[in-house]
Every structure is written in structure tokens, then in C-alpha cells.
Amino acid sequence: MKLFKYMDKTILIITIILFAIGTVMIFSASNVSTYIRNANSPYYYLIRQIVILVVAFIISIFFLLINVKTTSKLSTLLTYLFIISLFMLFLFGKITNHAQSWFKLGFFNVQPSEFLKVFMIIWAARYYDLKEKKLDNYTTALYPAMIILIAFAAIFLQPDLGTALIVLLIFAFIFVLAPISKDIKYKIVGLGLAFVFLGVLVVAGFGSKILSETQMQRITSVISSNPCSEENYYTDGNQICNGYIAINNGGLMGKGLGNSIQKYLYLPEAHTDFIFCIIIEELGLLFGLFIILLYIVLLAKIIILGRKCSNNRDALICYGGAFYIFIHIMVNLLGVFGIIPMTGVPLPFMSYGGSYLLSLSIILSVIQRISFETRLKLATLKGNE
């Protein structure tokens, strides 16, 4: 009861609402395609999603019951193990959508890079908190960066450029917020921006030689001024154009739950990458804006909790967790709207995907544990006054 009392109720309620909406929409978006394309039951993905949610609930209880100090120690081991597993994929991994990013484990496929994102946040937060007084030393300050660059290389070679960049961005965000000396921070950030500029130039000049055909198609679909033209519709612009059609079909109020047209194989990833388009087509733009509002409130509450934390570790976990959710929202939606290339990044709470759902549940349960410990400490201090 004490644990529930000091949990953040707003975060909890929004989490439950978003997972409930996501489960319903995964069923609605997938029931036609899974029957037509794979001759499976229309309930195939719904059943799998419910099983994943049950597993996520059990894992969440585990991380809620152990203190953040223990979780942060555990995250060090898990971060290294998941980095090692990234290299094991090249021997035992399953190729899906042109990337060797998954281990096939019977009923589910496991994507190590998704779990790495979460435990990397907790590990980096603990590291920079423990080494706070030694962060004017380049070796100490940059050690986590070197480890993450190794992980980045492994993910890039799968090849999964989108996930690799997200891992790098999440760590860069934590690096900027960590109590590292300003001299080191400014130099590394400047060097990082220089490498980003160089990377853009290299991709622009030699993209076809260093990126896969699928990755190049995603880039050219964005560069194209009209993905829905006759020339582009049947090649690079097909998915984006069908996403636009779904959004246009929905209007303000939607066609009604279950009444999407674009889920009839027009959008090949309707229950994953493009689920937001199906949400708008069936439930309308207003409902889509309601989901975005819930995202904003959730992120705001996590950031506010971070500001209340009494130590750098907990604050960095909250800020890193908020950015983790935010970057997935932005990358997915910007990809769906054709502003950036599609990367296969799931939309939090909405998209089908076991590894991401479990990872999201872990970071949210750790954040709730931080809420419990922070509020309990404040209540104890008030009681002693």
C-alpha cells in the first residue's frame, strides 16, 4: 500500500490509458492483414500483445519492488551483456526486414538493442553520479561514450541505422546533462556536431555504397517532392503516400473503429510503424491530438519528478527516460509524415513489438520507483520537522 501511495498517479493512469488504446488499435490494425497475408487468426497479434503485457506487468512489479540503487547496479551488468549480445547476433541472429537484429526464442523474437537503450540510461546515470568528482578527467568522462560507440557500430552493421542513431542520441542527451566539466563537454559536443556534418556529407556523396538498398529507398522517399506521384507511388513513396491517404480518410472524427481501408494491405506495417495513421483514419484527427496530449502530460510529469530528485542518478534516469520516450515519438511521427526517413521505430504504447514494450515498461517502473523513494523521503523529512 505504501508503494502505491507514493507512486505518481498521473503517470500510472496515463500509462494504463495509452497501453489500453494501443492494444485495441493493434488488434484493429492487424486483424485483416494477418488473416489475408498469413492465414492466421484475426486475433493473432491481439493474443500476443496481451501475453506481452502480462509479462511486462510481472517485470514491472519486479523493478518496482527493488530499490533504485540495486537496479542501477544490475544495469551495469545488463548493459555489458546486451552489448555482447549485439555481436552474438551476427552468429545466431534472425534477419527480419533486411536487418539481423533479433534472436528467435520460440514464441517471441528478442531485440537486444531495445533493452540496451533502457539499461544504458540507468547505467550511465549511475556511472556519472558515482564519478561526479572525477569528471574533469577525459578518460573518466568519456569511458561510457567509448562503450556506447562500440554498441553503435554493432547496431549499424546489422544494419539498423535508425536504432543505432537513437542509441547515440539518448546517450548524447545524458552526456550533456551529466555533471561533466564544461571544458570537456563543449569540446566533445563540438566534435560530435562536426562528425554529424561529416556523416551527412558522406551519405549525400556515397550513400548508395555504404547504406542498404532499403535504407536508400527510405531516404529518397523523403527527398522526393511528391511521394504520391505516379513515378514514386509504386516504389519509394508507397508507404508514406498510403499513410497520407489514411490520415485524409479519417478527417476530424474518423471512419469508426475497425473501418480503416488502408489496413487492407495498403500499409504493410499498419500495426507497427504506421499505426498512428490507422488511429487517425478510424478515430479521427481529434483523437490523434488527444494521444499527443497524453504524451505531453506524461513527459512533463517525468521531467517534474526528475527536478524533485535528491541525487544526480535519479534525476538523470528520469530525464533520460523522458527523452527515450520523446525521441521514439518524434522519430516515428516525423517518419510517418514524410519529414524524415522511416526507420522502423515503434510509436510508444501504440505499436506492436515485444522488446520495445518490455523495455518501455522497465523504464516506467524504475521511474515510478524513483517517485516512491523521492516522495517517501520528503514525507519522512516533513514528519521529522
- Separation between Cα atoms, residue 142 and residue 175, nearest integer Å: 9
Of 345, 305, 309, 310, give the one whose Cα is nearest residue 322.
Answer: 305
Backbone angle region of 311, left / alpha / beta, with phi > 0 → left and psi within -120 to 50 → alpha: beta
Q: Taking a C-beta distance cutoff of 8 angstroms, is the pair 307, 284 a contact?
A: no
DSSP states of 3-20: HHHTS-HHHHHHHHHHHH
pLDDT of the chain along its 385 residues, tens only? Answer: 678 888 999 999 999 999 999 999 999 988 888 877 776 778 888 999 999 999 999 999 999 999 999 999 999 999 999 999 999 998 888 887 777 888 887 777 889 999 999 999 999 999 999 999 899 899 999 999 999 999 999 999 988 888 999 999 999 999 999 999 888 998 988 888 888 888 777 766 665 556 655 555 656 555 555 676 666 666 667 788 888 888 888 889 999 998 888 888 777 778 888 999 999 999 999 999 999 999 999 999 999 999 999 899 999 999 999 999 999 999 999 988 888 887 778 999 999 988 999 999 999 999 999 999 998 888 777 765 5
Distance CA 376, CA 68 (A): 13
In angstroms, how far is the first alpha carbon of the chain from the final one?
A: 24
Residue whose grid cell is 520460440 = 106
Q: How many CA atoms lie within 13 A of 122 on its CB side?
A: 28
Q: Decide: 30 and 270 in contact? Cβ < 8 Å.
A: yes
What's the rounded Cα separation, in Å, for the pair 337 and 320?
A: 25
SS3 content of the chain, % helix, strand, coil (to 5): 75, 5, 25
